[in-house]
Structure 1
Amino acid sequence: MTPRPFPPDANRSDRLPVIILAGPTAVGKTALSLALATELQTDIVNADSMQVYRFMDIGTAKPSPEERARVPHHLIDVVNPDEDFDAARYLEYARPVVNACHGRGKIPLVVGGTGLYLKVLTRGICPGPPSDPAVRRALQDELESRGLEALHRRLLQVDPEMGRRLHPHDRQRILRALEVFRASGTPLSQWQSRHRFRDTLYPSVKIALHRDREDLYRRIKRRVLQMMEQGFLQEVKDLLARGYRPELKPMQSLGYRHLIRFLEGAVTLERAVEEIQRDTRRYAKRQLTWFRNDPEFRWFPPEDHPAVLRHIRAILSTLR
């Protein structure tokens, strides 16, 4: 039976719930999200940090045009690859979408593997000094002259907790952490400790998907090969032809930076593909660690669609 929708109520739309479907890359979120959204008669809101970019379709594993035609999708293709986009901007874009769904009596299904985006959507964002263009430009100059490794070492000195928390290749967050410290004199880890994400912007039903590790790794290997067959290399060439520089944040993301290295002659294509598969496995492990650190997630195998649906309906019934 289709669940009764929440009645539209503009006065309390920000307290209506969201359903979150999370999990590592290649685990099977897209297929399950389409089935759930269809049964729940709701919209899908993207929470993948790469699917927000236009012209980056294959390497980000966006839902196909046919899949997007089946269920309304939001926050896909909202910015160009040379535009800044972070968790704060995600929240700025996502809240009106979620509130609009609530206004139509729908409980949106938020789907993705970017844990920070999911966290700020439900718990708010850590306050901090606004972005300082002069400081950011100075850091960009240092990045180009000294490299990301040197900036990460600097972060370990001024904010050891944040430096240990961030991956050495996480360019955007390393730059932001250094920017916060230079602008305020206070480490970003201290700003976050004060906030502790205690806000509750939306009550949520949190679902995380898991697979046997070897099964997940096989799926990752197969997905990368399928991306190459679908034209991933040509997609990278087209982005470069459009004038998007290799050092841009999205161009340095998983898969794109590897194929750029091939095009620059640094590695063979076979080696680039192997490195994409290896680094995707590593990324999936980091995603799993993030979601396992949140006790609010209830874990399911992606094939157990009926159990997921029962759990969602049971939790929603307590929120009405």
Structure 2
Amino acid sequence: MVSQAKAPVIVVTGPTASGKSALALALAERRGGTVINADAMQTYDAFPILTAQPAPEEQARAPHALYGVVPLGETVSAASWRTLASGEIERARAAGRVPILCGGSGLYLRTLMKGIAPIPDAPPELREQANADWAALGPAAFRARLAEHDPVLVGRLKPGDRQRHVRAWEVWQATGRPLSAWQEGEASTAPWRFVTVLLSPDRTWLRERIERRFDVMLAGGIEAEARAVFDRQPDPAWPGLKAHGAPELFRHFRGEMSREDVRRVAIDHTRQYAKRQMTWFRHQMAPDLVFDPRADQALVAIEKYLDNPDT
């Protein structure tokens, strides 16, 4: 037996719809593990079907953590998720269980594994004002204003990324220092050893799987799930509303998009996201093990590696 002090934290990652949750659950059952969510959208409590959170019967088979725990109106950053995940890792280890991180939010995983520079929190009123400015000025003018103070960060951001532009502006307002400068500070690394398993599927197989999964979601009740949120008239700025399919369903409810177009556009956006994820994994992650999700012997190979990491 490997002592808890030396036992690794297992990371199961890969693009959306590649089978991460099933693999993590199988490992949890075989290794006595706790599955800890590492997917940004799955932390929110409003869209369990749309975000493909493990079903209740799956969560009953092994302990799961950080699924559906954050109200839709709250912001979950990579830094705040790191704090939550670190606590769950320690709870799992204290209970004699193996922590198994499962999700495709690469930035979150990198922040946990490699550390993050200490960036101070801004007062809530600054965030509210920054969001109001984004709405009043428009993305282009807001971006131009931010570029006067933090051109390095602006060069990294997509023009329509409201959340990260707003975050950069509030940090500048709160500290008088660009967010890019804070990010260059010394990062505190995690105290655990990680074993990373990357699922790297065939592109055609993944495209078809994404389509089939969305059809299952449609049959499983995502319209009613999204309608319950829509009827609450949520603030459009809430980050949790970015779940794939939610914007399209909201447009459908407003009479702006047919159900057929919802399906087509949501599937297309999810495929584009999966492609971006794979690009990120290729350039930003050095996994210990890489598998095609269809590999029959993946579980056996992973367990062999965990038991004999030097072989």
Structure 2 length-normalised TM: 0.89
**Structure 1 stretches (4+) deviating beyond 6 angstroms?**
none
Alignment of structure 1 residues 92-131 onto 2, 5 Å: 92-131=83-122
Shift of 1:16: 5.1
1:206 to 193, 196, 208: 196
8 Å CA contact retained: 1:43, 1:72: yes
What corresponds to 2:240 in structure 1? 250
The answer for unaligned runs of 5 or more in structure 1 is none
Shift of 1:105: 2.5
Shift of 1:150: 4.1
The residue type paired with residue 252 of structure 2 is F
> Over residues 132-151 of structure 1, what are the superposed CA-to-partner deviations in whole Å (9 max), with x where a residue is unaligned?
32321221111222334543
Matched, 1:219 2:216: no
8 Å CA contact retained: 2:116, 2:188: no
What corresponds to 1:86 in structure 2? 77
Q: Structure 1 125/299 Cα, relative in aligned 2: closer, same or farther at 3 Å?
A: same
8 Å CA contact retained: 1:254, 1:280: yes
Q: Indicate the larger mover: 161-170 or 227-236.
A: 161-170
Write the distance in 1 (CA, Å) between the matches of 2:223 and 2:144.
Answer: 33
Write the distance in 2 (CA, Å) between the matches of 1:157 and 1:274.
Answer: 40
The residue type paired with residue 142 of structure 2 is L
What corresponds to 1:6 in structure 2? 3
8 Å CA contact retained: 2:72, 2:240: yes
Structure 1 length-normalised TM: 0.87
Matched, 1:32 2:29: no
8 Å CA contact retained: 1:45, 1:109: yes
> Over residues 10-37 of structure 1, what are the superposed CA-to-partner deviations in whole Å (9 max), with x where a residue is unaligned?
xx6xx75310000110111122112111
Q: Structure 1 145/123 Cα, relative in aligned 2: closer, same or farther at 3 Å?
A: same
Q: Alignment length, in residue pairs?
A: 309
Write the distance in 2 (CA, Å) between the matches of 1:153 and 1:288.
Answer: 30
Write the distance in 2 (CA, Å) between the matches of 1:155 and 1:312.
Answer: 49
What corresponds to 1:263 in structure 2? 253
Q: Structure 1 203/116 Cα, relative in aligned 2: closer, same or farther at 3 Å?
A: same
What corresponds to 1:233 in structure 2? 223
Shift of 1:87: 1.7
The residue type paired with residue 192 of structure 1 is Q
Write the distance in 2 (CA, Å) between the matches of 1:41 and 1:223.
Answer: 28
SS at match of 1:19: strand
Alignment of structure 1 residues 166-315 onto 2, 5 Å: 166-195=157-186, 197=187, 199-297=189-287, 298-304=289-295, 306-311=297-302, 313-315=304-306
Shift of 1:174: 2.3
Shift of 1:211: 1.0
Shift of 1:198: 6.1
CA RMSD of aligned residues (A): 2.4
Alignment of structure 1 residues 32-51 onto 2, 5 Å: 32-51=23-42
Q: Structure 1 153/284 Cα, relative in aligned 2: closer, same or farther at 3 Å?
A: farther
